[in-house]
């Protein structure tokens, strides 16, 4: 006789007791993924018997600190579900703020050319393209694995005709005119030891160089050289002063920093002209 859904959830909750902040909730997410049912189904069909051959292995992976998003291959971003796997950074909630801040600066019917550096799983370009139906999009990434995942999400969201993707270092070989440049680049200082779960994420999505802000500065340089109108970037909580100091030598219209949900400095919108 197989376990009921409630039996499986009890097994999962016990297994994750010392690992997860909300073991029952995580057990529900993992079991839902294992048997392809949503949470409401699990809650309303607790006494139903279910076969869940992958569930134990999922619990082992979670106990070894693997993020739940990589185990289920799903991530929620901007109230939507996206595909995710270990080749791309798991999109973070604070990156939604970058999108919101940029959208505040743009007309919904803008026809400008928008370019993203470091597309990762694709979430930023896809959400922007959903909101800006007349804008054109191109996105780059240095990682072929990330681009494979971006391509999958772009296809699932039916954006293949709207978002062109390109493997390169930053903007090398990108010749098109760029009006808006957006990026959540790697910005952590090389060598900083991170939490255990971050070990599963691509390291070139996290570490930005000896100081950490090297790619941010390259993006600023590119923006001035290419006469970009707006540069919108996420950054580290301790990089506001460095960005302000770097920009002292440039002429521009405005520089606005924004904070994340925890109140830390998290990004900026630079309007050049």
- CA dist 188 and 79 (Å) reads 27
> Taking the CB of residue 172, how many other CB atoms lie within 10 A of it?
10
Q: What are the backbone angles phi and psi of residue 78, rounded to the nearest 5°?
A: 50, 45
Nearer to ligand SAM, 8 or 77 (CB): 77
Q: What is the nearest approach in angstroms of ligand SAM to the Cβ of residue 170?
A: 4
Residue 261 in tokens: 């949900």
Pick the piece of the chain touching ligand SAM (CB under 6 A) from 6-14, 134-142, 153-161, 236-244.
134-142
Q: How far is the CB of 251 from ligand SAM (least distance, A)?
A: 26
Q: Which stretch binds ligand SAM (CB under 6 A): 5-13, 62-70, 84-92, 221-229?
A: 84-92
Window 148 to 187, contacts with ligand SAM (CB under 6 A): 169-170, 184-186
Rounded-to-integer distance, Cα 170 and Cα 226, Å:
13
Beta bridge partners of 114: 137, 180
- Least distance CB 205 / ligand SAM (angstroms): 4
Regarding 141 and contact with ligand SAM (CB under 6 A), the answer is yes
* Least distance between ligand SAM and beta carbon 73 (Å): 15
Check binding of 117 to ligand SAM (CB under 6 A): yes
Q: What is the CB neighbour count within 10 angstroms for residue 44?
A: 10
Mark 27-66 with x for binding to ligand SAM (rule: CB under 6 A) and - for no binding: ----------------------------------------
Residues 266, 97 contacting (CB under 8 angstroms):
yes
Q: How many Å apart are CA 268 and CA 159, to the nearest integer?
A: 27
For residue 4, give the DSSP letter: B
* DSSP secondary structure letter of residue 49: B
Site residues for ligand SAM per CB under 6 A:
88-89, 91, 95, 117-121, 123-124, 140-143, 146, 169-170, 184-186, 204-205
């Amino acid at each position: 006789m197989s376990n009921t859904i409630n039996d499986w959830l009890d097994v999962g909750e016990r297994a994750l007791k010392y690992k997860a902040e909300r073991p029952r909730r995580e057990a529900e997410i993992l079991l839902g993924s294992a048997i392809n049912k949503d949470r409401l189904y699990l809650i309303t069909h607790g006494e139903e018997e279910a076969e869940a051959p992958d569930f134990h292995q999922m619990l082992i992976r979670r106990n070894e600190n693997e993020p739940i998003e990589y185990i289920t291959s799903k991530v929620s971003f901007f109230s939507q579900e996206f595909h995710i796997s270990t080749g791309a950074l798991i999109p973070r909630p604070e990156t939604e703020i970058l999108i919101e801040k940029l959208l505040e600066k743009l007309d919904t019917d803008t026809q400008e050319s928008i370019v993203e550096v470091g597309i990762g799983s694709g979430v930023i370009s896809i959400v922007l393209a959903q909101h800006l139906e007349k804008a054109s999009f191109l996105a780059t990434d240095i990682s072929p694995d990330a681009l494979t995942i971006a391509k999958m999400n772009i296809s699932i969201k039916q954006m293949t005709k709207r978002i062109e993707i390109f493997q390169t270092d930053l903007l090398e070989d990108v010749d098109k005119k760029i009006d808006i440049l957006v990026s959540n680049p790697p910005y952590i200082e090389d060598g900083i030891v991170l939490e255990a779960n971050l070990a599963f994420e691509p390291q070139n999505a996290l570490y930005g160089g000896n100081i950490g802000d090297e790619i941010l500065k390259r993006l600023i340089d590119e923006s001035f050289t290419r006469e970009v109108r707006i540069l919108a970037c996420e950054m580290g909580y301790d990089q506001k002063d460095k960005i302000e100091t770097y920009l002292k030598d440039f002429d521009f219209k405005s520089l606005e920093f924004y904070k994340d949900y925890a109140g830390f400095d998290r990004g900026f919108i630079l309007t050049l002209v």
